[in-house]
Amino acid sequence: MRIIMALDILDGKCVRLTRGDYSTKKIYSENPLEIAKKLESNGIRYLHIADLDGAKNKKITNHKILEEISSSTKLSIDFGGGVRTEDDIRIAFNSGAKQVSAGTIAVTLPYLFMEWLECYGNDRIILAADFKERKIVSGAWTKTSEENIVSFLSGYCSLGVKYSICTDAKRDGMMAGPATEIYNEILGSVNINLIASGGVSSLKDIEAIRLAGCEGVIIGKAIYEGRIKLKDLRSLC
């Protein structure tokens, strides 16, 4: 299972939010590149960059930081936040992203998401499947649909989607444990490379996610707050 470190960027800084609420932002560093280099030096190989400005502005915003990190480290980066147009996705890849995740477009303009999947390949496009109480949420988690997370993933999997970051919006930033029961349910019926996100607080949580069969896990606040030490992840990376 891949260990993926989260790097959320807002106003050019490394921050974390609680449940996607911008008013709860906590700044951990003024220098995202410095954080990325520290992660790499401690054995981290995969990085998930979330462009929080982009998610709010509905267009990619922090691509210069993505470019700086991708050119200064060997980290394999997946990038998401504000990817709404062909220009956005092109900029993300040209700035060094190995994979790009898209969520809102998959909900609102599925034909466009499928165009990207066909154009760039299912190894490079990640379906961002964010949910709250099993219902899909989009638009920086401001809109809730009636579609169930399992049926949403199943439908896209049948169309060729290979990877999905699956985030429980109610658990994100809470460090109260991941939605392992839902991940178990998804992987019991959907053949997809599932990347768990939200709620991770301990090595025990990481092991539970691994046992559920997830392909990857994204860890954020637990590292920044010191709940999990980078040295403890070395044997897992």
Domain CATH code at residue 127? 3.20.20.70
Catalytic residue (one of 53, 78, 130, 205): 130
Banded model confidence at residue 161, pLDDT cuts 50, 70, 90: very high
Say what the pLDDT of residue 100 is.
Answer: 98
pLDDT digits (tens, 9 = 90+) for 5-37: 999 999 999 999 887 788 899 999 999 999 999
Would the pLDDT of 77 be above 90? yes
Any idea which residue has 């922090």 for tokens?
62
Q: Residue 112 is part of which domain span? A: 2-233
Q: Which of 107, 111, 125 shows the shortest CA–CA distance to 164?
A: 125
* d(C-alpha 89, C-alpha 60), whole Å: 8
Handedness of CA 200, 206, 211, 216 (dihedral sign): positive
- Is-catalytic flag, 8? yes
Would the pLDDT of 237 be above 90? no
Q: Which residues contact 152 (CB under 8 A, 6 or more apart)?
A: 129, 136
Number of domains within the chain:
1
Say what the pLDDT of residue 80 is.
Answer: 95
Q: What is the pTM of this model?
A: 0.93
Torsion of CA 229, 43, 79, 155, to 10 degrees: -80
Average pLDDT for the chain: 93
Say what the pLDDT of residue 17 is.
Answer: 86
- Is-catalytic flag, 21? no
